[in-house]
Structure 1
């Protein structure tokens, strides 16, 4: 039986990179679709056997069509990226060029927004943007030919807003009790790459880390694992939090959204939706063969991110 050819978009990103490596381990020929094919990808050498690099941009349908036709790929991994039509034309290009199965990196926030893809308000930016892509995939490919992976919050999110402060040993937190599941990008990528090659009988795949942790507990875990002194202060008002996020380069609308979401997130998703959460934790082991990675183990394996 011939090896399947899959195309992975954005393989310089942490999740897509692992998805590509995992797909190759499962015997696929892997096309790495990149805006700049000359860029380095950690763990994949240039000209490495089983991989092919092509120039393509998820927001430019013509480049997608050309990449798929050139390589003969039949399966695709994609992720949400801003476009005026929520990737509708890009998804149509995938279909027209011969793709017959898509794995889409979606978001668990769709559940918090009510779960009805059509009804989610544009004001709820994260679930709305992912829901619109899922709707486009439903329309173009049909339910049997795509799988959304609705993941929890990445373990690296902590460093997105507090990275330098953690390294400096002094962190100011807004809503320190705000809780997330801290799933590792490696777990997400491994699931995505496995499903990309082997398919799945699940219509939606939820994925979560094994233990919900507050922001404060995450910082304390980093300090303990790295044996590092980290002072934690609390930002007292939402307005101050917005200004702090703006100072880190975020647009005001995004800063307000993040501050508001953190303030509302003191009850974990595991508590809000226990059945879906348990399913998401067990899915990691069911699909990869190993348990979902704990935040402590993630920090131990990625200490360079925190130092």
Structure 2
């Protein structure tokens, strides 16, 4: 089977840019980078270099996942048979318009960046709207299943992005002496701290190999992913502190409302999402795990290696990104 042409939406993001670069490395026939502003520089230097060195293998096109007409135009012009998409929060139709546009344009397989909040073995249709973040991802999975069928998509469900810690970057950077307290939402809550680049490598391979890669694994259209080490937020900030040469002191917030306001400000998250994040963090601090049993977590870590080729330790990620915390 010849390698397909692919279209990657949002290549200025870390996961999408890593996916595009990996798809190129795995021999994708052509990669179209679909962007709101095609003239915008790509933050991923390696992808920029690949785009410049192998110019015949890449092209850019204007498209916006909130605008189904632009999605259909871009996908049709690209000739792509495979697409990478991500969640646009607040979509009134669960992104069904964009998904139907991809189908109408000739796309046959979609790799969707979902979330481990939609738990393994859980029917996405059963996810409650009360769980704002999980529900948003689940709606897209449902739309993909109904439009493309079980063989036409894969939902990649990673856990806690290491890059979520960027929400504390300015507080760590401003802590010049390393002696002031950095406030965290539930410092004791443990997460898997998966590197976004690892997620992208998994997505990139799936863009090229699609169902063929899945049949070598679980044979289903869901791939759970997790970082290699469960760390509390306090421990993770300590690792970052070591990378930047600071002894960072941490503490929680005095109340939930203060924590919600901090999440809204630092992440630009709408209030429902911020409240859900705080609620989720509290649940995790009390022992809740998105992965259920230990073997499910270990399998999710194994999937990163199986489909992506390597697993990035958190300390390595912190060292690579220390300039953003300095």
Q: Same fold (TM over 0.5)?
A: yes
Map 1:15-54 → 2, pairs under 5 A: 15-28=15-28, 29-41=30-42, 42-43=44-45, 44-45=47-48, 48-54=55-61
From 277, 289, 292, the equivalent of 1:272 is: 292
State whether residues 119 and 290 of structure 2, in contact with CA within 8 Å, keep that contact through their aligned partners in structure 1: no
Aligned to 1:209: 227
Cα pair 2:162 2:314 within 8 Å, conserved: yes
How many positions carry a matched residue from both structures? 304
C-alpha spacing 1:174/1:274, structure 2 compared with 1 (3 Å): same
Distance 2:240 2:278 in 1: 22
The 8 Å contact of residues 79 and 106 in structure 1, kept in 2 or not, is answered as yes
Q: Which stretch shifts more, 280-289 or 207-216?
A: 280-289
Distance 2:114 2:274 in 1: 21
- Tell me, yes or no, if the aligned pair for 1:270 and 1:278 is still in contact at 8 Å: no
Q: Which runs of 5+ in 2 are unaligned?
A: 176-180
After superposition, the Cα gap between the structure-2 partners of 1:79 and 1:244, relative to the gap in structure 1 and judged at 3 Å, is closer
Aligned pair partner of 2:317 in 289, 298, 302: 298
**Alpha-carbon distance between aligned partners in 1 of 2:261 and 2:99, rounded to the nearest angstrom:** 37
CA RMSD of aligned residues (A): 1.9
Structure 1, unaligned runs of 5 or more: none
Aligned structure 1 segments of 4 or more residues deviating by more than 6 angstroms: none
Equivalent residue number for residue 93 of structure 1: 101
Q: Distance in 1 between matches of 2:185 and 2:225?
A: 26
Structure 2 residue aligned with 1:182 = 193
Q: TM-score, normalised by structure 2?
A: 0.88
> TM-score, normalised to structure 1's length?
0.93
Inter-CA distance 111–69: structure 2 relative to 1 (3 Å threshold) = same
1:171 aligns with 2:182: yes
Please list, as runs of the form range in 1=range in 2, the aligned pairs for 1:88-167 lying within 5 A after superposition: 88-111=96-119, 115-160=122-167, 162-167=168-173
